[in-house]
Every structure is written in C-alpha cells, then in structure tokens.
Structure 1
C-alpha cells in the first residue's frame, strides 16, 4: 500500500495537497516500513503543522457509526483522534466514489491502517466488529486488522458503571 500511496501522492496537483493528504501519505509510508520515503516526504512538507505532528503520534481513537434511519444503510463513520486538541474525521460513505483508484478511498484506507495497529486503543459504543461490519462493502480495511488494536467497548463499561451507581442494571433489574 505504501508504494501505491506514494505514486498517487506524486500525481496530485500541489494546489490540492492539504494537511489530511500529508498526514495520510506519511502514515501509509511509515506503516509500510518505508522509512526513507517517509522522512523524505516529511522533510519536503513546507508547513509542518501541529496537527501533522499530533496525528502521527496519536495512539487512542474513538469510532462511532450511523446508518440511514429508514433502510438501515451505512451512512457515516465518525473517527476521533484523541489528544489535547482532538481531530475528528467524518466519512460520509454515500458520497464516496465507487472507483478503486479514488484518492478519498485511498486516504480512508490509510487512516484505518494507521488506527488498527498493535498497541493503539480503539474506543467504541458497542462491539467494534458489529459497528464496522455494515461498512465492509467499502473495503476500507480487512477485518483481520481489527485484531491488532486494543478494543474497548464503552457501552459495556457504561452499563457496569451505571449499575454500580444506581443499583439497577440497564434492563431494570436489581444488581
């Protein structure tokens, strides 16, 4: 994926390159083990922003998904890069190109590849696999990648906390 990312990046007009593009190319290269290429691209970025530095060092994320209210079709993936000033990315899948060569598709894949690394922590409201399985047709990631990060289901944690606080579980029974 790293070599393909570099090839796509080199084809992009300089007027279209922004922080998100730079972050994604750096992540794709570093995650593919292309250390020399990562350093070269980083050194050529004219304006290195706090966002680029922070995003490349983020290890905790939240993911939430939303579906169409009427037919339950996947609609939105919300990703938060957790740090002092969090970065939030919204992926509205109904607006994505169907082309496998789409830059946006490539950027989404780079984001998920970066997030789903060993030792990263992903917080979700519900089981992460359940949250993301409806988005499988978009091929942002392989489900085998979901085994890598530490996954924390906040819904379960909330139920435990709430039951301990009020003495009643989520279904109305006593603890």
Structure 2
C-alpha cells in the first residue's frame, strides 16, 4: 500500500506542475499581447486625451483626507462614470480599480484605487474611501464598463469597501458593442446599389458581403483596443496594463 507521504508528494508535484503550467501560459499570453501592442503602435496613430481634461488621483493608505474630501465633493455632483479594473502581473489577483468621472464640465477625475495598499478598515481614511464608493454606486448614476463588473469586482466584495450589487445602472459596453458596430458599418460598393434599390430598408441593415472584424467567431468578446482600432483607426496603448 502506498504511504501517505508518497501520496502527499505526488499531490504536491501535480499542484506544482499545474501552477507552473498556468504561469507559462500567462507568460506566453503576455508576450503575445506585447508583440501585438507593438505592432499596432507602428501602424496606427495613438489615441490620446489632452492632460488638461483630467486629474489623476491615487487612493491608498497615504492619501490625505483633504484629497478624498475633494473627490467626494466632485462625486456628489457627478452622475456618469466609467470603471475598469486591473490585476497584479505576478499574482493575477485584482489590485486596482480605476474610476473615471464624466462630469458636465471638465476637468474630470481619474481615480486609481490601489487595493493592496488601502488603510486599515478601522481608520477615518477608510471610511472616507467607502463614502466615495457610496456616491459612485448610488441610485441614479450610470456607470459604463467594458466587461462584467460583477465578475471583475467579485474578488474584493468581502473587504466591505462598497455594497454590491450596485444601485447605479451599470452598462456593459462590451456586450452592446458588436450589435452597434454591425449596424454602424457603411455599405460597401458591392451591396450599396442593391440596398438603395429597395423601397424598404430595415433599421438593422448593414453590409453583409464583408466581415470587417478581427474575430472569427461571432460570440467572441471585443477588446477595447480593437474596438477603438476598428472604429476610430487609432491605437490604444496597453503597454502599461498590469493584467497578464
């Protein structure tokens, strides 16, 4: 009969092998995305926003109360936001929540909440940060995301930084984009005469003789980088992302 030690050793080896395989897969994916990013950089003009249009604020244990109070005042009068998350390159765990306010008047705020460097939960600063999230996720707000925020924020719900599900309306633009993009494509030279000759044109009409998309399968999710590349012919630099 195999000993308990041998069984434990076998299990440990399997675990190490699985971990090593996942690490290698992440590394290969990172290299592939980096090469793709460099290719786009060489072939497209960059997507940029003037720095005067926004202010960047890092939120962590060393952020001052005055800074958080300024953000709270801004969030009180703002009702539109976009939100994104990033994971740590080494652990692949959620480490950053990025909130971009969309106010009626510029400048906006880009708030980078560093989850691995937050203050203790029993401090005044932590309570202030929680209040900031209360204003973010309050009823009546609209929050735009690229991907499911429920999936992306689930790993940090337990730290009680915010209440989930959100009272705000969260719109996943990634899900809505393929349908919009299909309808927005202009007719090509081949199908335009046919479409113009019809007496009735459906609101869902679009060019059907070409597939101007980087994805083979219809159900594949568009990356934000590809969405901007195909709609605006611009390059969204992803070299600074922390996700692997």
Q: Place the TM-score, normalised by the shorter chain, in its bin.
A: 0.5 to 0.7
Could you tell me which residue of structure 1 aligns to residue 192 of structure 2? none
Within a 5 Å distance, the mapping from 1:87-102 to structure 2 comes to 87-97=109-119, 99-102=120-123
Is the Cα–Cα contact under 8 Å of residues 81 and 100 in structure 2 kept in the other structure? yes
Query: Which residue of structure 2 lines up, in the alignment, with residue 156 of structure 1?
Result: 175
Aligned-partner SS, 2:110: strand
Higher relative contact order (CA 8 A, sep 6+): 2
How far apart in 2 are the matches of 1:57 and 1:112? Answer: 14
Give the distance between the partners of 2:214 and 2:136, measured in 1 at CA. Answer: 31
The answer to whether the aligner puts 1:134 opposite 2:161 as a matched pair is: no
| Structure 1 residue 169, shift from structure 2 partner | 5.8
Instruction: Please report the RMSD computed on the Cα atoms of aligned residues, expressed in angstroms.
Output: 2.5
Going from structure 1 to structure 2, the CA distance change for 1:107 and 1:167 (only over 3 Å counts) comes to: farther
Greater share of helix residues, 1 or 2? 1
SS at match of 1:100: coil
Distance 1:95 1:126 in 2: 25
Offset at residue 112 of structure 1 (A): 1.2
1 CA distance for matches of 2:117 and 2:131?
18
Unaligned runs of 5+ in 2: 1-63, 186-209, 220-244
The answer to whether the 8 Å contact 2:75/2:136 transfers is no
TM-score of the pair, normalised by structure 1 = 0.63
Q: Provide the rounded CA distance (Å) in 2 between the counterparts of 1:91 and 1:174.
A: 34
Higher-Rg structure is 2
CA distance in 2, matches of 1:126, 1:55: 23
Select 1:63's aligned residue among 72, 77, 83.
83
Q: Which among 40, 65, 69 is matched to residue 21 of structure 1? A: 69
Partner residue of 1:172? Answer: 216
Distance 1:96 1:59 in 2: 25
Q: Please report how far the alpha carbon of residue 125 of structure 1 lies from its aligned counterpart in structure 2 after TM superposition.
A: 1.0
The reply on whether 1:124 has 2:142 as its aligned counterpart is no
